[in-house]
Structure 1
Amino acid sequence: MKVTIYDVAKKANVSIATVSKVINNTGRISEKTKIKVKDVMEELNYRPNMLASALMGKQTKTIGLLIPDLVNPFFAELARSIEDRGNELDYNIVICNTDYKNSKENKYLSLLKQKSVDGFILASGFENLDKVEELMKQDIPVVIVARDFPMFSVNAVALDDFMGGYLAANHLIELGHENIGVVARDLWSNRERLRGFKHALEETGLELNSNFEFIDEIDHIKAGREIATKYMNSKNKPTAIFACNDLLAAGVIQMAKELGFKIPDDLSIVGFDNTSIASIIEPPLTTIAQPIQNMGKEVMDLMITTIKGEKKEKSRIMLLPSLVRRKTTKKLS
């Protein structure tokens, strides 16, 4: 027999209105009553009909999260931090992997709108500007995470990618490296990292290794391996490589080892993100850290205030990167 809201109210000895307020997190309900009602809901295995709530114009307590690549530990860890914060706030997160494809972005946006999610979190790699504008015109709450859309007035929680690239270059320059290669896909965040990297080089009269070109390969480790081969087999071999994420750096490390180059004696490597892979790879990776846990918390908190209409003006929260020194960089002898 299906359990209803009436059963919950009777068992908890409260009104149906009180149960409804607890479900929708509205009204003034004591913490003791909230806990009592939630315990009864759990005991009776009661699950609110969120679709019915949506048809009545109420919140579904569900957020759509579009992630471009869950194989990348950065996005997996970011999704986890967002989900953890959502759970603390009694919101469900529906995670969709888009593979950097507009077609999949469009499909998931359409599907989740049909499911009446309360808002969307769009992660770095989402380049479909028309869709962002469309959501905003429809007054659907949107928060961008791990990238920025300076051309729009949109809620965003981003990293200062320019500063991240600058820190990476400055570290290698301080170690005496002058011939430095970069591994990057052509994405907004990477373009900003490259811009910061080049700025640091220019300050000391240096230029990027002439073999640089953006890569198209989605498999980051494979791409890192391929670009390392190209760099290290060229006449203009770099003494250091900056990879714009930790997976790319892992690929560079693999191929450098296979080609017989010792790390960091023959080649220094800096990654980006400071994901779990950075500390377990051999040698442990020097990398630029993103505050992933804080990023997830900030984006979820901003989403909730947007859904509740507590903040009308758009917010752009910029987080700062930091350098984590490990074993893949050393002073050039």
Structure 2
Amino acid sequence: MRPTIYDVAKESKVSIATVSKVINNSGNMRDSTRQRVKDAMKRLNYRPSMMASALTGKGTETLGLLVPDISNPFFSELARTIEDRAHENGMSVIICSTDYNPEKEAKYLDLLQRKQVDGFIVASTFQDKSLLNELKSNGVPLVMLTHDNVGLNAPSVSVDDFKGGYEATSYLISAGHENIVIIAEHANSSSMRIYGYREAHVAHGLTCSEENIYKTTALVENGRKTFLEIVNKGQTPTAIFACNDLIAIGVIQGAKEIGINVPMQLSVIGFDDTILATTTVPALTTVAQPISDMGRKVVDIIIAEIKGEDLTTESVLFPPELIVRGTTK
């Protein structure tokens, strides 16, 4: 049976109140008494209840992080940075992967609330924003890791997706490409990258064909299939801007499969600059998100909210950076 605070009190021959003071590092007592209680906790392998701490208003020193797909290197690298920054501040992180599924979103929000997490970090567009509005109305600290927070009174941290899309497309146009296909995701971030893609065409005096805009989900296989679909339609783009490194890698695989040389016959640009970008042959040209800076900033904001600071209007927009490697010519 799991030991209780009563067992610790009996083992150390003190009151329950004294044990509670030791757990919460409060109250005045002899050092010898405090050490005796700690020794008893160690002997019994006693772990204080985080739920009990929450009920006393002390908090659980835990954050809830909701990401759409933890297997996506961007979100896994982001989650690691968030976890490291939280650890620096004495906090832990519970990570949940929602798959853009409204049922999972509701389930995990309920689970994390029952676990009394001190605040929420939501790292993507939420399908049902009413759930997040309910959190905010209940005074729960919440930060969005996306600029898609319209109608949601919450601070946000994100990258300038429009600028990233514009710079990637402008670079390709400046390199002499006029027939550029964009393969995007079904996400708000990709919508902003598409706007940048369109605007770059306008700025360079080129017509932007809507037939060159494709959407899929962020999987290597989907990038490969979409590229082969483009080729089978008879389209002959000289460049492809993929709104995700995974999709870009799939495009490279598809091109290799049918004998198209990257970059001599086809230039490819990705987005995110995850660790995978340097593992392709040739290495992937991509638009880098400052993952480490974004992760650290979002934790700093949520901790400030937990401490009672009003940051509902805080909106941090990080600039992207085009990293030129070997998949563009």
TM-score (norm 1): 0.86
Deviations 1:8-60 (A, max 9, x none): 9x9xxx996465148xxxx9xxxxxxxx9xx9899666533111111222201
Gaps (5+ residues) in structure 2?
Answer: 28-34
- 1:30 aligned partner: none
Instruction: Sort the Cα spacing of 1:153 and 1:175 in 2 relative to 1 into closer, same or farther, 3 A.
Output: same
Percent identity over paired residues: 43
Letter of the structure 2 residue corresponding to residue 272 of structure 1: F
Contact 2:162 2:196 in 1 (8 A): yes
* C-alpha contact 1:41 1:47 (8 A) present in aligned 2: no
Aligned to 2:108: 108
The answer to whether the 8 A contact 1:186-1:214 is kept is: no
Give, in angstroms, the shift of residue 130 of structure 1. Answer: 1.4
CA distance in 1, matches of 2:102, 2:114: 18
In 2, the alpha carbon distance for the partners of 1:313 and 1:252 equals 40
CA drift of 1:150 comes to 3.5
**Secondary structure of 2:237's aligned partner:** coil
Residues 162, 219 of structure 1: alpha-carbon distance in 2 compared, 3 angstrom cutoff:
closer
SS at match of 2:70: coil
CA distance in 1, matches of 2:256, 2:209: 21
**Contact 1:123 1:147 (C-alpha < 8 Å) held by counterparts:** no
The code of the aligned residue for 2:81 comes to: S
In structure 1, how many angstroms separate the alpha carbons of the residues matched to 2:106 and 2:24? 33
What's the CA shift string for 1:234-277, capped at 9, x where partnerless?
A: 33311000000100001100001101100000000000000000
Q: Give the drift of 1:105.
A: 0.4
Residues 182 and 241, structure 2, Cα contact 8 Å, conserved in 1: yes
The aligned counterpart of 1:255 is 254
> Which amino acid in structure 1 is aligned with residue 271 of structure 2?
F
Name the residue aligned to 2:318: 319
* Cα distance in 2, alignment partners of residues 82 and 315 from structure 1: 18
Q: Distance in 2 between matches of 1:41 and 1:88?
A: 28
Residue 96 of structure 1 aligns to a residue in which SS? Answer: strand
Offset of residue 320 of structure 1:
0.8
User: Which whole-Å deviations, capped at 9, do the CAs of 1:296-323 have from their partners, x for residues lacking one?
Assistant: 1000010000011034553111111001
What is the aligned partner in structure 2 of residue 184 from structure 1? Answer: 184
Q: State how 1:49-64 maps to structure 2 within 5 Å.
A: 49-64=49-64
CA displacement 1:158-214 (0-9 Å, x = unmatched) = 111111111111110111111100111221000001111111111112233453344
- CA separation in 2, counterparts of 1:190 and 1:134? 27
Pick closer, same or farther for the CA change 1:42–1:77 going to 2, 3 Å.
farther
- The residue aligned with 2:240 is 241
What residue ranges of structure 1 are gaps of 5+ in the alignment?
28-35
2:296 paired with 1:292: no
1:196 aligns with 2:196: yes
Q: Indicate conservation of the 8 Å contact 2:142/2:155, yes or no.
A: yes
Q: Is the 8 A contact 2:165 2:193 kept in 1?
A: yes
Partner secondary structure for residue 284 of structure 1: coil
Equivalent residue of 1:184, what SS? Answer: strand
Cα RMSD of the aligned pairs, angstroms, is 2.7
Shift of the alpha carbon at 1:222? 1.7
Which runs of structure 2 are paired with 1:96-245 in the superposition (5 Å)? 96-216=96-216, 218=217, 220-245=219-244
